[in-house]
Structure 1
Amino acid sequence: MSELTAFLSSNVVFGVWGGLVGLSLLVLAVDLHQKNAHLSPMMKFVWALTVLYSGPIGLGIYFYAGRKEIAHDSIWRRGFRSVAHCYSGCGMGEVLGVILTVGLLSLGNLWVALASFSLAYVFGFGLTMGPLMQEGETFSDAFNDALYSETPSITVMEVVAIGADLLLAGSAHMGQTLFWGALIFSLSLGLFAAYPVNVLLIKWGVKEGMMNPKHTPGNAAPQTA
């Protein structure tokens, strides 16, 4: 544990990671503009946040599951698109909760956990409910759908992410590299912890999973000879 906290406290490591995140965002932006501009604004937003939180890891997930160039779709790819959608909203809530409770209010770990959990659910549900309501569902129906389909994924993601963050940097403050290093590391842990949950929810029919990028409206039909 001490070796890991020392690694996450390193300014050099943090700087290198920041450079990788910036490069990954640039690659994503170029690919979305040149090859996958047909993706919905929501999914572009999802992939941008996924790469922002997890850098080259998030970019690798995008190339594996989020582009129209994937060779064939599968439940494993659908699981990654689904967990990325969850991750984008929950990550916003978690980061905001940690910054507010630790950075601005200087509250204890219990309040950090409660606020981060609550905001993760709010943002996670919001990113699910918004598109459903745009499709014509009432607020009540959209909320029930989000509650049913997203609660298991959000719960596992946040238990792992917030638990790891508090374990690694529970006494750190915003001016320390460990504060940000542990937050970044814990977010990716939450992503991978929730991935098998999303795969199972899709397999059991609880979630549909995000559509194949090839089938997104606006994708040009293949040319025939």
Structure 2
Amino acid sequence: MTTHQHGTSWSTAAQATLHCLTGCAIGEVLGMVLGTAFGLHNAATVVLSIVLAFVFGYGLTMRGVLKSGLALSAAFKVALAADTVSIVVMEIVDNTVVVAIPGAMNAGLASVLFWLSLVISLAIAFVFTVPVNKWMIGRGRGHAVVHGHHM
């Protein structure tokens, strides 16, 4: 390992996770809102939320690397490399927490329980994903790939 890889800070990992959380949260919240508003079954709502979390997570990363001059296909490959593991971990934790909170999946959009469960689940997912991102960045993977395109 290089010195850079050993020197990955918790702050860097938290920043990468916050970036990932932003895309995931947009997709997750939108999926939960749409699923609830359209009266979808809980499983369909979770699947919709996961799909949208990936779409928005990859989209935010692609937006940044496209500005660096990469072609669309190359930007998509960078987003896959940078975000897939982070989004998977975040979505597993996030959805597990929401499903585990009694009544959260059946709460309506006007319910405090609905919104509180989303906030709690995303916060817990953030805590679980920071160490994953620290490990990946320390090995030149994950968001380290994105940072290479910003320099």
1:182: how far off?
Answer: 0.8
Higher relative contact order (CA 8 A, sep 6+): 2
State how 1:116-155 maps to structure 2 within 5 Å.
116-155=49-88
Runs of 4+ residues over 6 Å off in structure 1: none
1:171: how far off?
Answer: 2.1
The alignment partner of 2:144 has SS state of coil
> Structure 2 residue aligned with 1:201, among 117, 136, 139?
136
CA distance in 2, matches of 1:122, 1:105: 20
CA distance in 2, matches of 1:210, 1:80: 15
CA distance in 2, matches of 1:151, 1:100: 24
CA distance in 2, matches of 1:94, 1:208: 24
Normalized against structure 2, the TM-score is what? 0.86
Structure 2, unaligned runs of 5 or more = 1-6
CA distance in 1, matches of 2:57, 2:79: 9
The alignment partner of 1:90 has SS state of helix
Q: Which amino acid letter does the alignment assign opposite residue 128 of structure 1?
A: T
1:197: how far off?
Answer: 1.0
Equivalent residue number for residue 157 of structure 1: 90
More helix by share: 2
Structure 1, unaligned runs of 5 or more = 1-72, 212-225
Which is higher, the Rg of structure 1 or of structure 2? 1
The alignment partner of 1:106 has SS state of coil
1:80: how far off?
Answer: 0.7
What is the root-mean-square deviation in Å for CA atoms of aligned residues? 2.0
- 2:141 is aligned with 1:185: no
Deviations 1:119-140 (A, max 9, x none): 0001100110011111110110
Q: Percent identity among equivalent residues?
A: 36
Contact 2:58 / 2:80 at 8 angstroms: preserved in 1? yes
Contact 1:160 / 1:189 at 8 angstroms: preserved in 2? yes
Number of residue equivalences: 140
